[in-house]
Structure 1
């Protein structure tokens, strides 16, 4: 981790032009006419594509398929939803009990996505999608409401700018586009790299803000094996083409860690590069990261056993889990590690105490502790039971010992 933080990340360098304008212009063109160069070849689950209009299939650009990792009933936000392909796949996957919100700031892409809402709702039998105008690095500001205010209060003098900014702040507080802690999953398909370097830290903070505790981000994007050169960064065509703004692959994971996520995992990674520019390889990855490790730890005499195969592993908070050892954990960490919908449960064995300590009676757990828990802590100091094969079904036919 420390090695990557000590290496410069040139994607954070300011550009002599506005990347946002370069992206908007190119994707406006991509909404009017198919542009193959914007798309990294990706396989989607064919059964979900059957109902989608050809126009959406041809004019939606991406580099992966985060929709594969979404479940029925979930509320999902798609960052940079474009023509709506991922949203309409998700609409089928989350079902009538779920909800899908596409966020984009390109009017032409939004119009294309909204054009087919009624038709697709009729085909699947329910309406569970909506498309909203916003910047993915500012998910609180509803740009259509901001524009409506500007139409009624046009700015003619510089002093009026502060009135508009105050109204935008009011919208963020009182009518946020995506409220805090309201979303199960945030997905994105090759869009994070298009955000201006100076806005990328805010972008990750916004993803974290809108997710519920236990929610997750599933992001497909372009990464590179080395920092892009200044010549690459200063090329508007390469910026809008998902090259100049690509994350260095280790820095990409670090951005999620620094935003507070845990359980960060590379789900897929292109073996061969999508493009090579000036000797630097650019490829698609899909990553998953979870929210919800913040909060106090309580001592309830719980432990976990790491199954292996590594001799020991280190979690995002510096705790070590040695293979086969009963490692003492607090209540919050126990829940995270053993959550069947989380990333860790296949690798650990939960060890509950014989007598449950009510949460209201629990003492604070030392979060710096990274030691084993003695079996007597789990069983209780007064545990004296004798258990013999005569009253055990270990060797019953269905549980044969031999």
Structure 2
């Protein structure tokens, strides 16, 4: 049995018998006016963060969500879309699609504004998305890509890139780990299916994204997630896993490489009215400017300039350079 078959079986069981502890979501569930999430959806919240960000969901976007779970994030996306087939949900597990449809029936009762036809559910997998090229404004996945091995992950990212419109956004939440995870853990099919042993270091995760062609990457959150300890797992050391929320934008790739925002800020404290690096970045005195890591490095390399560059906060909320 392949690890992908094991994954399907794990989530088939999770669809038929909701498991509250299957994942450990690190982001509080959005509390929005007139949004009432059915209890079963909450029980089936099989993710490690959130992919629903209001600033992504403007001007009636066409939304794709891969790996539907119990439908909670589909319902949240529909809250902003509110149009027939405005949200497409794709899942390879038939039982999960069935459970999701059943949850939508309950959601209609609890939420007068919601209609099930706001969400179009399609059978398919992340490696072969049943979606047209350049047709999606916002694509999302939560704790799914962490399951894939490198070649499958590359293919899944290519598929997301293919279906997104120019400047479209891929919003993701996945576990990451800066320590080396041994082969025994990485090849454990069930642990990989549970998003515990497939974690990449964040730098490698970002490189996978930019290698596909995404010109802008935003690190929106980085939080503690789980530990794999020697008492319960095949490891000689305690492995610390974090969850990361990332937005990759299908912008053209800059000639000098991608813009990756990790929460760095530039502050000019000189005596001039402003500082202009003549590369599109103007710093006003004592006003922090969010900068990508590339720009932060270029500014830090300037000799004799009164500019402070903050460390990465691993939180970026828009604005700033580029």
| In structure 2, distance between residues paired with 1:186 and 1:48 | 24
Residue 168 of structure 2 is aligned to residue 179 of structure 1 = no
Sort the Cα spacing of 1:199 and 1:48 in 2 relative to 1 into closer, same or farther, 3 A.
Answer: farther
Q: Which residue of 2 aligns with 1:304?
A: 280
Report Cα offsets for 1:158-205 as digits up to 9, x if no partner. Answer: xxxxxxxxxxxxxxxxxxx21111111111111111224431111111
Q: Which residue of 1 aligns with 2:11?
A: 27
Report how far residue 137 of structure 1 moved.
1.6
| In structure 2, distance between residues paired with 1:242 and 1:193 | 6
Gaps of 5+ in 1: 1-16, 140-176, 297-301, 325-341, 349-402
Contact 1:20 1:196 in 2 (8 A): no
Residue 108 of structure 2 is aligned to residue 130 of structure 1 = no
After superposing the two structures, state which structure 1 stretch, 229-238 or 40-49, moved more: 40-49
Q: Which residue of 2 aligns with 1:74?
A: 61
Q: Which residue of 2 aligns with 1:347?
A: 321
Sort the Cα spacing of 1:313 and 1:221 in 2 relative to 1 into closer, same or farther, 3 A.
Answer: closer
Q: Which residue of 2 aligns with 1:257?
A: 210
| In structure 1, distance between residues paired with 2:216 and 2:30 | 26
Q: How does 1:330-345 map to 2 (within 5 A)?
A: 345=319
Report Cα offsets for 1:291-330 as digits up to 9, x if no partner. Answer: 030599xxxxx962343868x96649xx957899xxxxxx
Q: Which residue of 1 aligns with 2:81?
A: 94
RMSD (Å) for aligned C-alpha atoms: 3.2
Q: Which residue of 2 aligns with 1:5?
A: none
Gaps of 5+ in 2: 230-234, 256-277, 303-315
Q: Which residue of 1 aligns with 2:228?
A: 276
Report Cα offsets for 1:146-167 as digits up to 9, x if no partner. Answer: xxxxxxxxxxxxxxxxxxxxxx
Sort the Cα spacing of 1:128 and 1:184 in 2 relative to 1 into closer, same or farther, 3 A.
Answer: same
Residue 72 of structure 2 is aligned to residue 85 of structure 1 = yes
- 1:60 paired residue among 17, 35, 45: 45
| In structure 1, distance between residues paired with 2:97 and 2:114 | 22
Report Cα offsets for 1:325-345 as digits up to 9, x if no partner. Answer: xxxxxxxxxxxxxxxxx9875
Q: Which residue of 1 aligns with 2:244?
A: 285
Count of equivalent residues: 271
| In structure 2, distance between residues paired with 1:251 and 1:49 | 40
Q: Which residue of 2 aligns with 1:193?
A: 146
Higher helix share: 1
Report how far residue 119 of structure 1 moved.
5.0
After superposing the two structures, state which structure 1 stretch, 71-80 or 41-50, moved more: 41-50
Report how far residue 120 of structure 1 moved.
3.6
Q: How does 1:207-246 map to 2 (within 5 A)?
A: 207-246=160-199
Report how far residue 59 of structure 1 moved.
2.0
Sort the Cα spacing of 1:234 and 1:116 in 2 relative to 1 into closer, same or farther, 3 A.
Answer: closer
Report Cα offsets for 1:42-61 as digits up to 9, x if no partner. Answer: 31112379533222221231
- 1:39 paired residue among 7, 19, 23: 23
Sort the Cα spacing of 1:240 and 1:48 in 2 relative to 1 into closer, same or farther, 3 A.
Answer: farther
TM-score for the superposition, normalised by structure 1: 0.60
Q: Which residue of 2 aligns with 1:371?
A: none
| In structure 2, distance between residues paired with 1:265 and 1:114 | 33
Q: How does 1:142-161 map to 2 (within 5 A)?
A: none
Sort the Cα spacing of 1:262 and 1:121 in 2 relative to 1 into closer, same or farther, 3 A.
Answer: farther
Secondary structure of 2:184's counterpart equals helix
